Copies of this chain bind each other. A is one copy, B any other.
Amino acid sequence: MDSRVLRTRRDVLTAAMDELVEGGWDAVTHARVAGRAGYAKATLYAHWPDRLALVRDAFDQVGRMPHHEPTGDLRADLVGELVSFRTAMTEHRLDRALAVLAERAGPVPELVEVRRRFVEDGERPMRLLLAPVLSGARLEAATAMLCGAVVHATLLHGAPPTDEEVEAAVDLVLVGVTGA
């Protein structure tokens, strides 16, 4: 793709994600996204025939959230990765993106696959940190507990975990790992 096409794509998908996190699934209309990105509606329809196509590509573009750069110190790396996740939730509105995926994947089954790819991608660094010390159901459980502590606090309490809570979560798991 030439740079003009790439720029259009980036502008449109950024606008689509902005509409999604601000207003939810129904806010992602071709008219609103086109207006926000500064392109003609016809341009959007040519590349993305429907809302689902726009949302799917918008999630693929977001794709790589900022993650913690591993240092080799497991405790520091787990804390760092959870803090990155928390930052993405609160400062990059990942909380809204995940909430929309969780809610709309019920009525819109095509979103199940979008959610699967996006969540798998986001979880990968956490899983890679834990894989040398845990496996099977314990690896699944620890990944779900650590990511889940941030998800639960942010999406259901409406407030992300404090630094102290993040460290307490990591320490509970690490004692569990080494003490079992």
- Asked if A144 and B169 make an inter-chain contact with CB atoms under 8 angstroms apart, the answer reads yes
The dominant DSSP class at the A interface is helix
Taken residue by residue from 129 to 153, chain A's Cβ proximity to chain B (1 for < 8 Å, 0 otherwise) reads as: 0000000111011101111111111
A98 at the interface (CB under 8 A from B): yes
A176 contacts the other chain (CB 8 A): yes
Using a CB–CB cutoff of 8 Å, the interface residues on chain A facing chain B are: 22-24, 26, 95-96, 98-107, 112, 115-116, 119, 136-138, 140-142, 144-153, 155-158, 161-162, 164-169, 171-180
Do the beta carbons of B101 and A102 come within 8 Å of each other?
no
A174 partner residues in chain B, CB cutoff 8 A: 176
Closest to A157 in B: B119
